[in-house]
C-alpha cells in the first residue's frame, strides 16, 4: 500500500525549500534591521487560551481548531495553535518580560493548524510568519509593521501586491458603528447566506468580510465615517507615514479581519498573482488584547503572513544554488583520491559533490553540467599517481592540471558567493 500525507497537509520538496530558505533568510534579516527579536512557542496550548484571545465567535475558534486531551482534566483540553499571536503574548506575559521593558517587538515563524476544507493555498497545516509590537499606541508602529512586510516582499522579489487598510475604531466609537451597520443590514438579512445570518448577532462586522454577499453590501455604512476624533487622528498619522515612505495603499472599508481582538488599524496584503486565496498577510492593532490576557494594559499591533502563500507568489520553486565544483573520477584508484580531494575542498569552504553510483566518466561529466558546477575536477590514474587534479573552468572550458593545494586556491578565487 502507498501512504499519503494527511488531507490538507503538504510536503516541502527540495525544489521548494530553496525558495523557503530564501524567504526565511530575507525575513530574518529584515526583522533584525527593524529591531524585532525572535520568539518560539509550543505548537499547542490550552484550548482556553484561544477562546480568550482569538474570540469565542470567530470561525477559527468555533469550528477550525484541532482539539485533543481529556475534557475532564482540570486545566482543560489542548488545541493545536490556529495562529501564533495568542501563544506569543502568553509567553511574554508568563515570562514576565514586560517587567524588563515596556515595549517589545518580536517575530515568529512556525506551523499553525486549522481544520478547514483544503484548497489551493489553504492548508490544515500551514506556516505563519509574523510580528507583534507590544507596548505602544503610537500609530507610527502600525505603519512600521506594514513597511516591514512590504520590504520583505521586495527582498524576495514579490512585486504584484496590494495593501488595503481600514480603521474599525475603538471601544468608544465602535458601538455606534455596530448599531449603524446592524440597522443597515437588518432589512437585508433574509437575503444573506447562512453564515452571515449567524454572524449578525454575534459578530456583525464579519458580514462585511463575506465574499458571497459582497455585492448586496457595497453601500453599507463605513467604519471610517463613524470614528471618534482620536481614532480619526490615529488613522491620519498611519496614512501619512505610509505616504512618507512611499508604500502604496488603498483605504478599503471592507477590511475587518476575522478576529475579535482588533481595534483601530486593520490591514491586508494581497497578491494578484494568486487565485481566490489571495491574502498574503493580515494585521492590525489590538489595544485591549494583552491586558485582557493578564498582561499590562498596553497598545499593540502586529501581522501574520502565510509562508505558503508568499512562496506561491514567489513562483513556487527555484533551482538549488550552483555548487563550486563537481569531482569526476576515472577508475577505482582515482575514486579514493577524488574522495580525499572533495573532503579537502569542502573543509576549505567550497561546495560540491562526487559520484557515489559507480558511473562512467561521461555520466559523471553530465552530472557536473547538470549541477551547473563552476568547476569540474578530474582525477584519472595519471593524476592520482602524481597527487594532481585537472581543473576545468566550466565557463570558458579552460583546463589546468594542478596540485590539490593549488586547486583549493583556484576554486576559492573563483567563488562567486
Q: Rule CB under 5 A: is residue 17 a binding residue for Zn ion?
A: no
Nearest to 237 by CA among 130, 151, 140, 358: 140
Residues in the chain: 417
- Please, which residue, 188 or 228, has the CB nearer to Zn ion? 228
Q: Rule CB under 5 A: is residue 239 a binding residue for Zn ion?
A: no
Q: C-beta of 254: minimal distance to Zn ion in Å?
A: 12
Stretch that binds Zn ion, among 77-85, 90-98, 222-230, 248-256 (CB under 5 A): 222-230
Q: C-beta of 206: minimal distance to Zn ion in Å?
A: 9
Measured between alpha carbons, how far is 47 from 67 in angstroms, rounded to an integer?
7
Q: Rule CB under 5 A: is residue 238 a binding residue for Zn ion?
A: no
- Please, which residue, 52 or 285, has the CB nearer to Zn ion? 285
Stretch that binds Zn ion, among 129-137, 176-184, 189-197, 320-328 (CB under 5 A): 189-197
Nearest to 76 by CA among 67, 85, 84: 67
Percent helix, strand, coil in the chain, to 5, is 40, 20, 35
Strand order in the sheet with 250-251: 37-38, 104-113, 125-134, 300-306, 279-285, 263-271, 161-167, 250-251
Q: C-beta of 228: minimal distance to Zn ion in Å?
A: 3
Stretch that binds Zn ion, among 101-109, 139-147, 163-171, 330-338 (CB under 5 A): 163-171
Phi, psi of 80 (to 5 degrees): -65, 140
Q: Rule CB under 5 A: is residue 228 a binding residue for Zn ion?
A: yes
Measured from the Cβ of residue 87, the count of other Cβ atoms closer than 10 Å reads 23
Q: Rule CB under 5 A: is residue 173 a binding residue for Zn ion?
A: yes
Q: Cα 129 vs. chain centroid, distance in angstroms?
A: 4
- Please, which residue, 172 or 405, has the CB nearer to Zn ion? 172
Stretch that binds Zn ion, among 67-75, 173-181, 386-394, 400-408 (CB under 5 A): 173-181
Phi, psi of 103 (to 5 degrees): -120, 120
CA angle 180/184/190 to nearest 5° reads: 140
Q: Rule CB under 5 A: is residue 172 a binding residue for Zn ion?
A: yes
Q: Rule CB under 5 A: is residue 217 a binding residue for Zn ion?
A: no
Contacting Zn ion (CB under 5 A), which of 183, 212, 236, 372?
A: 212
Q: Rule CB under 5 A: is residue 170 a binding residue for Zn ion?
A: yes
Measured from the Cβ of residue 319, the count of other Cβ atoms closer than 10 Å reads 9
Measured between alpha carbons, how far is 398 from 393 in angstroms, rounded to an integer?
5
- Please, which residue, 80 or 289, has the CB nearer to Zn ion? 289
Contacting Zn ion (CB under 5 A), which of 132, 142, 213, 355?
A: 213
Q: Rule CB under 5 A: is residue 193 a binding residue for Zn ion?
A: yes
Stretch that binds Zn ion, among 40-48, 51-59, 205-213, 348-356 (CB under 5 A): 205-213
Q: Rule CB under 5 A: is residue 196 a binding residue for Zn ion?
A: yes
Question: For residue 192, what is its C-alpha cell?
Answer: 444573506
Contacting Zn ion (CB under 5 A), which of 86, 87, 139, 169?
A: 169
- Please, which residue, 43 or 210, has the CB nearer to Zn ion? 210
Residue with the three cell numbers 599517481: 385
- Please, which residue, 182 or 390, has the CB nearer to Zn ion? 182
Measured between alpha carbons, how far is 344 from 64 in angstroms, rounded to an integer?
53
Name, in order, each residue with C-beta under 8 angstroms of 402's C-beta and a sequence gap of 6 or more: 388, 389, 391, 410
Site residues (CB under 5 A) for Zn ion? 169-170, 172-173, 193, 196, 210, 212-213, 228, 231
Amino acid at each position: 500500500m502507498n501512504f499519503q500525507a494527511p488531507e490538507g497537509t503538504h510536503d516541502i520538496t527540495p525544489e521548494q525549500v530553496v525558495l523557503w530558505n530564501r524567504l526565511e533568510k530575507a525575513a530574518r534579516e529584515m526583522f533584525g534591521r527593524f529591531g524585532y527579536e525572535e520568539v518560539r512557542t509550543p505548537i499547542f496550548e490550552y484550548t482556553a487560551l484561544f477562546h480568550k484571545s482569538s474570540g469565542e465567535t470567530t470561525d477559527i475558534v468555533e469550528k477550525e481548531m484541532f482539539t485533543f486531551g481529556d475534557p475532564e482534566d482540570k486545566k482543560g483540553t489542548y488545541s493545536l495553535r490556529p495562529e501564533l499571536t495568542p501563544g506569543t503574548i502568553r509567553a511574554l506575559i508568563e515570562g514576565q518580560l514586560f517587567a524588563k521593558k515596556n515595549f517589545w517587538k518580536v517575530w515568529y515563524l512556525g506551523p499553525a493548524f486549522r481544520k478547514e476544507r483544503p484548497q489551493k493555498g489553504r492548508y490544515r497545516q500551514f506556516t505563519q510568519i509574523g510580528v507583534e509590537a507590544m507596548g505602544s499606541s503610537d500609530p507610527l508602529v502600525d505603519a512600521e509593521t506594514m513597511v516591514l512586510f512590504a520590504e520583505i516582499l521586495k527582498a524576495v522579489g514579490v512585486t504584484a501586491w496590494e495593501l488595503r487598510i481600514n480603521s474599525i475604531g475603538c471601544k468608544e466609537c465602535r458601538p455606534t458603528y455596530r448599531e449603524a451597520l446592524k440597522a443597515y443590514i437588518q432589512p437585508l438579512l433574509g437575503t444573506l447566506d447562512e453564515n452571515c445570518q449567524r454572524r449578525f448577532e454575534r459578530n456583525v462586522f464579519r458580514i462585511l468580510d463575506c465574499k458571497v454577499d459582497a455585492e448586496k453590501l457595497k453601500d453599507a455604512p463605513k467604519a471610517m465615517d463613524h470614528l471618534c476624533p482620536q481614532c480619526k487622528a490615529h488613522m491620519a498619522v498611519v496614512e501619512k507615514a505610509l505616504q512618507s515612505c512611499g508604500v502604496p495603499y488603498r483605504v478599503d472599508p471592507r477590511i475587518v479581519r476575522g478576529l475579535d481582538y482588533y481595534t483601530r488599524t486593520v490591514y491586508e496584503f494581497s497578491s494578484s498573482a494568486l487565485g481566490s486565496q489571495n491574502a498574503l498577510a493580515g494585521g492590525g492593532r489590538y489595544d485591549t488584547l494583552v491586558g485582557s490576557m493578564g498582561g499590562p494594559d498596553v497598545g499593540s499591533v502586529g501581522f501574520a503572513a502565510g509562508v505558503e502563500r508568499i512562496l506561491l507568489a514567489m513562483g513556487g520553486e527555484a533551482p538549488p544554488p550552483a555548487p563550486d565544483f563537481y569531482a569526476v573520477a576515472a577508475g577505482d584508484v582515482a575514486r579514493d583520491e577524488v574522495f580525499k580531494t572533495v573532503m579537502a575542498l569542502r573543509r576549505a569552504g567550497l561546495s560540491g559533490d562526487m559520484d557515489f553510483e559507480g558511473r562512467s566518466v561521461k555520466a559523471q561529466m553530465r552530472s557536473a553540467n547538470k549541477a551547473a558546477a563552476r568547476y569540474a575536477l578530474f582525477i584519472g590514474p595519471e593524476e592520482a599517481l602524481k597527487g594532481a587534479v585537472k581543473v576545468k573552468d566550466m565557463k570558458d572550458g579552460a583546463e589546468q592540471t594542478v596540485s590539490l593545494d593549488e586547486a583549493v586556491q583556484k576554486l576559492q578565487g573563483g567563488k562567486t558567493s
